[in-house]
């Protein structure tokens, strides 16, 4: 019972990190800043999923973390590809 508090605390700390990343996503100022912020949000979301898996004792949620890590990498590469080639 007592140890559950620590995993909830870890969830709270990671959520504060996501709030910071979202503030940067809103403020910009440039498009690459927003892409980096989105990348960080996804990485922290992996942390949240893993904490959730521990909190509810459900190791199946770790598969979601694999897929999200894969998709976020592809998304960042695609953003970088198009930012490098765009004409301002």
Partner 1 sequence: MIREWLVALVILFGAFFMLVAGLGLLRLPDLFLRMSATSKAATLGAGLVLAAAAIYFNEEGITARVLAIIFFLLLTAPVAAHMIGRAAYFDGVPLWEGTLINELRGHYRTSDHELVREAPPSPEFFIPEGKEGEDS
Interacting residues toward partner 1 by CB under 8 A? 3, 6-7, 9-11, 13-14, 16-21, 23-24, 28-33, 35-37, 39-40, 43-44, 46-47, 50-51, 53-54, 59, 62-63, 65-66, 69-70, 73, 76-77, 79-81, 83-84, 86, 88
* 82 alpha carbon, distance to own chain's centre: 22
CB 51 to partner 1: min, Å: 7
């Amino acid at each position: 019972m007592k140890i559950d508090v620590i995993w909830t605390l870890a969830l709270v700390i990671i959520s504060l990190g996501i709030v910071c990343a979202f503030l940067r996503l809103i403020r910009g100022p440039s498009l690459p800043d927003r892409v980096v912020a989105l990348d960080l949000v996804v990485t922290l979301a992996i942390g949240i999923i893993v904490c959730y898996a521990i909190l509810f004792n459900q190791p199946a949620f770790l598969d979601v973390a694999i897929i999200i890590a894969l998709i976020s990498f592809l998304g960042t590469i695609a953003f970088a590809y198009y930012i490098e080639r765009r004409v301002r």
